[in-house]
Amino acid sequence: MANAEVDISTLKRGNEDLPDGNFPSGSGIKEKQRLNNDYRNSVSKIDDEFYSMNYTYNGYLLVFAHEFFEYGALERRPKAEEDIEMLKESFGRLNFVISVEKNRKFREIKKIIEMESQKNFDEYATFAVAISSHGSSNGIAARDAEYNLEDIIEPFKKTQSLIGKPKMFFVGCCRGMLVDNGVSISQDCIQTDGCQVEEYTIPVEADVIIVYATVNGYISYHNNENGSQFFIYLTEALNDYADSKDMLTVLTKANQQLAISFSSRNKDPEKAKKKQCMCFLSTLTRLLKFKVKAEEQA
């Protein structure tokens, strides 16, 4: 599995947007064993406001991009390559090592995840997975079958060299078939509503952020020229703000631009002027702010 080279490209939005197709909604709550592992693998101290970036690399990004499918009536996603290029540009600028996997079958994905979760990530401040594919309310599409996001996330929660470090998961696919028609808002609308300890324990579920392309049950859109709207707005926000803002602020900026600026364009009037917004879940215990490479800041 070779690391992909960083290739900076200029991307323009095209003129038509198409749907890209959740966590499984299974009955009952699966009992999980929560192991309070010692928090020894991070330079971050107990009362630090920010995650430590004192590592060789800001992070490691594993990309699963799917263009072709062998089951159901799933259409080809010819612009999956554009999602890869956007991610390589943005995360390469942020000093991430990037590995790309294309059109993998579910069995292959499981094997890759098993191998990656057993790696030593001592040189990396963070870890990330980005998925570009079709999806539904039941899961994410591999080349030959559907799988659950938990199949990706769970192994990395127990990776020793990632304990206490941010683990990010970017899920670029549909989560259902609902469409968002949007709602008008007026300009004058008003919104309401010490001791240094080196060893301590944290929940297994801590330090994870999951970023979905859309809200549960809804369609997400990809552009017929330049890839997923989710990755377009995410990478633009990373390019514009990652050197000055923390990650949750960057995500909020991305969501703001996607929610306000994007409306689907389609020759079919019934599919045009639809809206999309991201959804993210965070158990981060500190602020996450990347160090940008000196040559990029110059």
Token pair listed for 171: 């899920």
* C-alpha–C-alpha distance, residues 256 and 262, integer Å: 10
Q: What are 201's strand-pairing partners?
A: 38
Q: How many residues does the chain have?
A: 298
C-beta of residue 209 within 8 angstroms of C-beta of residue 59:
no
Token pair listed for 139: 């899961």
Q: Is 195 one of the annotated active-site residues of the chain?
A: no
* C-alpha–C-alpha distance, residues 23 and 25, integer Å: 6
> Per the residue annotation, which of 66, 173, 174, 222 is the catalytic one?
174
Beta strands in the chain (DSSP E): 17-19, 59-65, 96-102, 127-132, 135-136, 139-141, 146-147, 167-172, 208-212, 221-223, 227-228, 279-282
> Per the residue annotation, which of 66, 134, 173, 277 is the catalytic one?
134
CA angle 272, 277, 280 (to 5 degrees): 155
What is the chain's alpha carbon radius of gyration, rounded to the nearest angstrom?
Answer: 19
Q: Is 66 one of the annotated active-site residues of the chain?
A: no
Most distant CA pair in the chain: distance in Å? 63
* C-alpha–C-alpha distance, residues 97 and 91, integer Å: 8
Active site residues: 134, 174
